Amino acid sequence: MSKIKIGIIGLGYVGLPLARLFATKYAVVGFDINLNRVADLKKGTDFTQEVDDSLLKEVLTNDSNPEVGLFITADSEFLQDCNYYIVTVPTSVDKNNQPVLKPLLSASKTIAKYLQKNDIVIYESTVYPGATEEDCVPVLEKESNLVFNKDFFVGYSPERISPGDKVRTVENILKVTSGSTIETAQKVDALYKSVIKAGTHLAPSIKVAEASKIIENCQRDINIAFVNELSKIFSLMDINTSEVLEAASTKWNFLPFKPGLVGGHCIGVDPYYLAQKAQQYGYYPEIILSGRRLNDSMGHHIASEVVKLMIDKELKVKRASVLILGITFKENCPDIRNTKVIDLYLALESFGLKADVYDPWANKDEVKQEYELDLITNASLLKVNYDAIVLAVSHNEFLSLDLEKLISATGVIFDVKSLYPKSNTDSRL
């Protein structure tokens, strides 16, 4: 193989940090179909805030074939000279929680147009075991007229990026690697090892690598479902869940999970991928799906608890005003993908309350487009005398909010994330 030239398809939360990192050592073409996203990145601006603008500008180049550097484009023609292709497009589920592979297959079709002999295609998108070889490879073969494992090869290296985490960045997270042949696996492993400071783990097969990623998120989902169920039980008993968990955490082997809304691009989606594949083999995964159902129920549960507190204080519920703090799926991050705060919002509205949502991190236009919700992004635009305030996301900015100025004299404050002192709230999850 000649000089390594990497094409990265998808420049979102996963693709851009990876492209930036590889561009410190290799020639990289970053491709994305979102014209606005490409325009912003070419200016050295990343609205996801996963890559510092200064670091991005250091690797950007206008040369489509540099020795080292990142060339960003929305024109797939610039991928034609690459010999490594890395797919980082999102995978999601439909309204029936069935896997949606369309972006993945579309990316495969794009790559196939330029695929040459001995090229390697590496998938990072989270999928069920078998998707790379059973779903993606046939597209590559059909569209390229090349033969798998003879003319071209594939690998799988699951993404492990946690959006908003400025410590465990891509180069500091150990990378699982794999390949369709022994030689390919070694090449894929060597490629990542050359830039990943934390090192790599070479899995024995692509299916093992695919499965390892999906169970990481399934395990976390189930663990959070357990403490969410505890919070429902302890609420009935008038026991503070946070205090119970604090006491239990004094044992050395107790896992410190906390209750909350469980969404995001991975945890809220990946269990359905594994479940769907399991059912194809005739097995119904009870624990995985029950955990997901419980976590999906938390938005309505929190809304119900808020309404109960309002009734206890003899507050009128219908047309009462409520302020929801946060819309992103996690704290100190602009990522709104599959946020479960929207479930809380819709549940409160279904009870007759009128909800404002304030989030200084989220993009107002993106929220409007995705959820048809008019987001407040400036604290100065908040009203006063809210009948209820619900802290849904623990952004640092919310620590400096003067809740007493925002809440009515008899209003209810519900802290989902236990961000505020217990004495300052009416209840916690």
Gap between the Cα atoms of 310 and 313, Å rounded: 5
Which DSSP state fits 362? S
Across 259-286, average pLDDT? 92
Residue range 297-428 in CATH 3.40.50.2000: no
Annotated catalytic residue, options 82, 218, 266, 333: 266
In this predicted structure, what is the pLDDT of residue 102? Answer: 95
Q: Quick check: 2 pLDDT over 80?
A: no
* Distance of alpha carbon 151 from alpha carbon 360, whole angstroms: 50
Give the per-residue pLDDT at 161. 83
Helix (H) or strand (E) holding 299: helix 298-312
In this predicted structure, the answer to whether residue 1 has a pLDDT above a threshold of 80 is: no
**Model pLDDT for residues 341-356, shown as the tens digit of each residue:** 999 999 999 999 999 9
Pairing mode, strands 99-100 and 92-93: antiparallel
pLDDT of residue 267: 86
| SS3 state at 250 | coil
pLDDT of residue 271: 93
pLDDT confidence of residue 263: 85
| Residue 50 pLDDT | 92
pLDDT of residue 233: 96
DSSP label of 423: G
| Domain residue limits, the chain | 5-213, 297-428
Q: What is the mean pLDDT of the chain?
A: 95
What pLDDT score was predicted for residue 165?
Answer: 82
177-229: pLDDT as tens digits? 999 999 999 999 999 999 999 999 999 999 999 999 999 999 999 999 999 99
Is residue 245 within 8 A of residue 328, CB to CB? The reply is no
pTM of the full structure: 0.93
DSSP secondary structure string, 75-107? -GGGGTT-SEEEE----EE-TTS-EE-HHHHHH
Q: What is the pLDDT of residue 53?
A: 95
Our answer to whether residue 266 is catalytic in this structure is yes
How many CB atoms neighbour CB 421 within 10 A? Answer: 8
pLDDT digits (tens, 9 = 90+) for 8-19: 999 999 999 999
For residue range 286-336, list pLDDT tens digits in order.
999 999 999 999 999 999 999 999 999 999 999 999 999 999 999 999 999
Amino acid letter, 390: V
Encoded tokens for 282: 């005739």
Neighbours of 350 (CB within 10 A): 10
Domain 5-213 has what CATH class?
Answer: alpha beta
Q: Is the model more confident about 48 or about 180?
A: 180
The 8-class DSSP code of residue 48 comes to T
Residue 411: predicted pLDDT: 96
Q: Tell me: the pLDDT tens digits for 20-41?
A: 999 999 999 999 999 999 999 9
Give the position of tokens 């968990």. 245
Please state the rounded mean pLDDT for residues 153-164.
Answer: 91
pLDDT in tens, 104-127: 999 999 999 999 999 999 999 999
Please determine whether the domains at 5-213 and 297-428 fall in the same fold group of CATH.
yes
